[in-house]
Amino acid sequence: MKSLFAVATLGACLALCGSSSADEKVPQPGQPARKIEVSADIVIARGSNAGKGIDPKLAKYKELKSPPFSSYDSYELLDEATRPLEREKVASMKLPDGGELKLVLDGVEEKGGKPMRFVIKATIVKKPGGEESIVQVKAKPGAMFFVAGQKFENGILVLGIKLH
């Protein structure tokens, strides 16, 4: 199994780096968990050095202008989608290279009964039956995080995921 690197926006970075408090509750394995409705907004882009700049639809993602993404001068929006997520159930999306993105809601960290961070496992399968890359992320609701590194058409695929 090969790991992808995850690059977080400032908000998601705070979610990843934030400290845990005793008030946060994460259901233990085997305990019934209350049903939480979560959706994932997914953005798929191709980064390259084609000299075309950043697609206007991606301009709001300032991360694409900062390292490590700034090593590419062009970003093209390839696809956008929303997928509902349920605890421990796979939500999937086909990728432009023939692979597949699989998202699983592994858990929800709560404080005062309110979701503070979602624990997500993102798996990229390179073509059916191919190699898998897995990353687990803790992200605040509404914070975009990026998973990148998969080579695609003289560049890379960049996947942006925002949970709400």
Q: Give 59-73 pLDDT, tens digit per residue.
A: 999 999 999 999 999
Mean pLDDT over the full length of the chain:
81
For 138, residues 6+ apart whose C-beta sits below 8 A from its C-beta are 15, 16, 109, 117, 118, 119, 120
d(CA 83, CA 41): 7
Q: For residue 3, is pLDDT > 80?
A: no
Radius of gyration for the alpha carbons in the chain, expressed in angstroms and rounded: 16
Q: For residue 35, is pLDDT > 80?
A: no
Q: How sure is the predictor about 34, in pLDDT bands with cuts at 50, 70 and 90?
A: low
Residue 129 has a pLDDT of 73
Residue 33 has a pLDDT of 56
Answer for the pair 133, 122: CB distance below 8 angstroms, yes or no. no
- How confident is the model over 133-152, as a mean pLDDT? 90
- How confident is the model over 32-45, as a mean pLDDT? 82
